[in-house]
Amino acid sequence: MDREEYVERVLSLVERIPAGRVTTYGALAEAVGVGGPRQVGTVMATYGGPVPWWRVVHADGRLAHEEDDDAARQHHLGEGTPFRPSGKVDMKQAMWWPDVLSAEPGPLLP
């Protein structure tokens, strides 16, 4: 697939993350099926503006991009995302695994 389509799939998955839940770069990469976590990171850094980027976190629950760390925390608090005392997201509760089929843009879903 070309880059545009890849970007579109990643963003569409991020949009599907329910409020109060999060997913990881690696999970998104796996759901799309192409590239790796870093590729997803690049996409988010470049095109992630319009989507709820704060719901995409590191594999261990740390919030991405420390400069916006505070803004992300506010969003999560507002959505009721489970946090650990350490200031990281509680991945056991908050992890949302993307539905692989959702990454398909075509009329694959009934």
Partner DNA sequence: GCGCTGACTGAGG
Partner DNA sequence: TCCTCAGCCAGCG
Provide the binding-site residues for DNA, judged by CB under 7 A. 3, 6, 24-26, 34-42, 44-46, 48-49, 53, 56, 58-60, 64-65, 68, 84-86, 88
Q: How far is the CB of 64 from DNA (least distance, A)?
A: 4
> For 67, which DSSP code?
G
Shorter beta-carbon distance to DNA: residue 40 or 103: 40
Q: How far is the CB of 106 from DNA (least distance, A)?
A: 21
The one-letter code for the residue type at 27 is: A
Using CA atoms, how far residue 76 sits from 31, 71, 82, 107, 110, in Å, is: 23, 9, 8, 32, 32
DSSP reduced 3-state for 40: helix
Shorter beta-carbon distance to DNA: residue 85 or 110: 85
Q: How far apart are CA 88 and CA 83, in angstroms?
A: 6
Q: How far is the CB of 110 from DNA (least distance, A)?
A: 30
Q: How far is the CB of 35 from DNA (least distance, A)?
A: 4
